[in-house]
Chains A and B, each alone.
Chain A
Amino acid sequence: MKAFTQINGLACPLDRANVDTDAIIPKQFLKSIKRSGFGPYLFDEMRYTNYGEPGMDCTNRPKNPDFVLNQPRYQGAQVLLARDNFGCGSSREHAPWAIEDFGFRVMIAPSFADIFFSNSYKNGVLPIVASSEIVDRLFKECEATEGYKLNVDLEAQTVTTPSGFSFKFDITEHRKHCMLNGLDEIGLTLVHADEIKAFEAKHKATQPWLFNA
């Protein structure tokens, strides 16, 4: 997992509430054997006007020109502005995989669905909950200002707009530690690798038959 300390990233406004995981990455992509490469299919049904299938080359697919991600001014966006209950629906981990693979590092919304929220941290995407007023303000400023970038500082837990307006966000110490150091759950467990090895040695001494090969 990529470590996250600070970014100054282009923001992109996705102005609709209750975007579910099937909208983030439609179910036909679950058949895939991959966990990377979902970026081109992120928001597939909103982004393209034809039906997407796993493995499809998206470069020449007909795009929906009205969809924000297709607008030239938002190319290279790293911060997704979203509305209430973002990421609801099935618990598929493909949703944060697709968001991460597309290049987003931060999502800001008034609320997120539970499982999606915790899956996002695990995959190196920082979900930030802000009040509806603040999110509204960011949406307005972003739409009005081409090249609108947000500075997100995880250490200080702040988001700062180009005009200098700044707000703080919450994150648990544990999640902050993991994101700052790029530790996924496996990385965290491997911090205890010596303990696992010691256990394994003892286990092998008492039940050697478990280690027959």
Chain B
Amino acid sequence: MAQTLYDKLWDSHVVRQEEDGTCLLYIDRHLMHEVTSPQAFEGLRLANRKAWRSTSIVAVPDHNTPTNHWDRDIEDPVSKLQVDTLDANIKEFGSLIYFPFKHKNQGIIHVIAPENGATLPGMTVVCGDSHTATHGAFGALAHGIGTSEVEHVLATQTLIQKKSKAMLVKVEGQLGLGVTAKDVALAIIGKIGTAGGTGYCIEFAGSAIKGLSMEGRMTVCNLAIEAGARAGIIAADETTVAYLEGRLYAPKGADWDNAVAYWKTLHSDADATFDAVVEMKAEEIEPQVTWGTSPEQVLAVGGRVPNPANEADPVKRAGIERALQYMGLQADMPITDIQIDKVFIGSCTNSRIEDLRAAAVVAKGKKVAGNITLAIVVPGSGIVKRQAEEEGLDKIFTEAGFEWREPGCSMCLAMNADRLSAGERCASTSNRNFEGRQGPGGRTHLVSPAMAAAAAIAGHFVDIRQA
């Protein structure tokens, strides 16, 4: 029978299946950070259990680590305790890769696993973090899990799961100049809604997706979770193989050849059927800006902030009113009239080398506008940072008035010192614009790296295609 990519990935990891369809799924790669792992390790210890296969573990502290003044160490005691606890747990239980705070390759877990070749096609990947979906860009089945599941995977190398339905999101055509993977992902969320993917694993396909680099594909899969999906996947192809070749933990020699041959089989069969199909035309996708407090509240940059009076459904109308009030926006105002205070370029969505290059192109030779109180560029990892510095991107940013920081999650969720104050408005390349996400009372607009850089220069949103 014809199979989807999801079927293939699923079937190749089922250890056993119960009568009600619940499966025990074997886990190849266990990613970890300091926030969701401590209780899992403690649970193991309390029950006198061992890690089943510690060489499946790739770990790094990222949420709590500061992005400047590394000489001062971690000043917040709660943050420091979480980071120290991860150090101690990895020391006790072991891992394949561990980059402690200040290690030259430290960074965001979803950036460091792929760049070290630790995420491979055909794998099952889990992490106690919802943006684990990122790794689906490699044709891997990647799930975000909760703390008790982290403990379960640690102890048994398996996850108890029921299979989701399969959705195909097909984007055909050629993306316009200035339109990026981030815009594609936001446009998809705008179309299907934040619950559109609930109960599904989404496969992204079509010529526009195939045309994306690995960095772009990771951005798209990263945001699958914001569309409500448990996982997002993209079939592995030449782009994937070329990206992985020679990376630290990628297979070598005969293993490499066998692996590549196997990876080529990891795609949906031509006549496979999906439970839902969404089709979009690449040419119709414009640069996107979110205006509200949910990623689905998104518009093309040329649009105007919605007017609740035009919404017939009372529940939706109230939702728009609430969002406008929180965001401090007027109905019907052009998106490009929205003035901003801060700019954040970073996060597991958009902190890879390609993202920084796109932002640097815009910032080159320009100056950050006077009304911007802080514009920061936070590379996703030490490797990204060094590469950017070799290319001189750091100079471009600092000369334009951006701060060039150390790697980490940073202002994506404001667990460290990088955050918005109440009422402050930020153009951000991250993934969540929820109330308070970047600091209590802070207002977040999600955009692509190029759009964020352009907004920093202008002091308000601008259409990158005209900038």
A interface, CB within 8 angstroms of B: 1, 31, 33-36, 93, 122, 184-187, 189-190, 192-193, 195-196, 199-200, 203, 207-213
With the chains together, A187 CA to B46 CA distance in Å? Answer: 13
Which chain B residues border A185 with CB–CB below 8 Å? 148, 152, 160
Interchain CB contact under 8 A, B15 and A207: no
- Once A186-B155, A209-B255 are accepted as A-B contacts, the answer to whether A196 and B24 lie under 8 Å apart by CB is yes
| Interface-lining segment among B77-85, B197-205, B232-240, B282-290 | B77-85
| CB-defined A-B contacts under 8 Å, sample of 23 | A1-B47, A31-B78, A33-B85, A34-B39, A35-B43, A122-B148, A184-B47, A185-B148, A185-B160, A186-B155, A186-B156, A189-B24, A195-B15, A196-B24, A196-B52, A196-B157, A196-B158, A207-B259, A208-B255, A209-B120, A209-B251, A209-B255, A212-B249
Interchain CB contact under 8 A, A196 and B55: no
With the chains together, A100 CA to B52 CA distance in Å? Answer: 27
- Once A35-B39, A195-B15 are accepted as A-B contacts, the answer to whether A200 and B157 lie under 8 Å apart by CB is yes
With the chains together, A200 CA to B28 CA distance in Å? Answer: 10
With the chains together, A33 CA to B147 CA distance in Å? Answer: 11
Binding site secondary structure of chain A: helix
Which chain B residues border A35 with CB–CB below 8 Å? 39, 42-43, 46
B215 at interface, CB cutoff 8 A: no
**Least Cβ distance of B265 to chain A in Å?**
12
Which chain B residues border A189 with CB–CB below 8 Å? 24, 152, 155-156, 158, 160
Query: A190: nearest residue on chain B (CB-CB)?
Result: B156
Taking a contact as CB atoms closer than 8 A, the residue among A186, A200, A207 that contacts B152 in the complex is A186
B26, B96, B249, B256: which has the most chain A beta carbons within 10 Å?
Answer: B26
Which chain A residues border B256 with CB–CB below 8 Å? 209
Query: B49: nearest residue on chain A (CB-CB)?
Result: A186
**Least Cβ distance of B16 to chain A in Å?**
5
With the chains together, A130 CA to B461 CA distance in Å? Answer: 60
Given contacts A195-B24, A209-B120, 10 further A-B contacts (CB under 8 A): A33-B85, A35-B42, A185-B160, A189-B155, A189-B156, A189-B160, A196-B15, A196-B157, A199-B26, A213-B96
Query: A93: nearest residue on chain B (CB-CB)?
Result: B148
Give B40-69 as 1s and 0s: 1 = Cβ < 8 Å from A's Cβ atoms: 001100110100110100000000000000
With the chains together, A213 CA to B258 CA distance in Å? Answer: 18
Interchain CB contact under 8 A, A207 and B122: yes
With the chains together, A36 CA to B46 CA distance in Å? Answer: 9
- Once A31-B78, A196-B26, A210-B120 are accepted as A-B contacts, the answer to whether A186 and B15 lie under 8 Å apart by CB is no
B123 at interface, CB cutoff 8 A: yes
Interchain CB contact under 8 A, B158 and A213: no
List the 9 closest A-B pairs by CB distance, nearest first: A209-B251, A33-B38, A213-B55, A35-B39, A209-B255, A199-B15, A189-B156, A186-B155, A33-B85
B262 at interface, CB cutoff 8 A: yes
With the chains together, A200 CA to B15 CA distance in Å? Answer: 9
Which chain B residues border A199 with CB–CB below 8 Å? 15, 26
A195, A200, A209: which has the most chain B beta carbons within 10 Å?
Answer: A209
Interchain CB contact under 8 A, A210 and B28: yes
**Least Cβ distance of A213 to chain B in Å?**
4
With the chains together, A211 CA to B46 CA distance in Å? Answer: 28
Which chain A residues border B43 with CB–CB below 8 Å? 35
Query: A211: nearest residue on chain B (CB-CB)?
Result: B55
Query: B81: nearest residue on chain A (CB-CB)?
Result: A33
Query: A206: nearest residue on chain B (CB-CB)?
Result: B262
With the chains together, A31 CA to B415 CA distance in Å? Answer: 11
With the chains together, A200 CA to B12 CA distance in Å? Answer: 11
A36, A189, A195, A208: which has the most chain B beta carbons within 10 Å?
Answer: A189
Which chain A residues border B85 with CB–CB below 8 Å? 33
Which chain B residues border A184 with CB–CB below 8 Å? 47
With the chains together, A207 CA to B140 CA distance in Å? Answer: 14
Interchain CB contact under 8 A, B151 and A186: yes
With the chains together, A186 CA to B46 CA distance in Å? Answer: 13
With the chains together, A34 CA to B259 CA distance in Å? Answer: 41
With the chains together, A105 CA to B38 CA distance in Å? Answer: 25
With the chains together, A100 CA to B148 CA distance in Å? Answer: 16
Which chain A residues border B155 with CB–CB below 8 Å? 186, 189-190
**Least Cβ distance of A140 to chain B in Å?**
38
With the chains together, A208 CA to B255 CA distance in Å? Answer: 7
Chain B 223-259 interface residues, beta-carbon cutoff 8 Å to A = 249, 251, 255-256, 258-259
Which chain A residues border B49 with CB–CB below 8 Å? 186
Query: B123: nearest residue on chain A (CB-CB)?
Result: A210
With the chains together, A122 CA to B148 CA distance in Å? Answer: 10
Which chain B residues border A196 with CB–CB below 8 Å? 15, 24, 26, 52, 156-158
- Once A196-B157, A209-B255 are accepted as A-B contacts, the answer to whether A186 and B42 lie under 8 Å apart by CB is no
Which chain A residues border B78 with CB–CB below 8 Å? 31
With the chains together, A213 CA to B256 CA distance in Å? Answer: 15
Query: A187: nearest residue on chain B (CB-CB)?
Result: B47
**Least Cβ distance of A103 to chain B in Å?**
16
With the chains together, A199 CA to B157 CA distance in Å? Answer: 11
Chain B 116-152 interface residues, beta-carbon cutoff 8 Å to A = 120, 122-123, 147-148, 151-152
**Least Cβ distance of B434 to chain A in Å?**
16
Which chain A residues border B122 with CB–CB below 8 Å? 207, 210
Interchain CB contact under 8 A, A203 and B26: yes
With the chains together, A209 CA to B256 CA distance in Å? Answer: 8
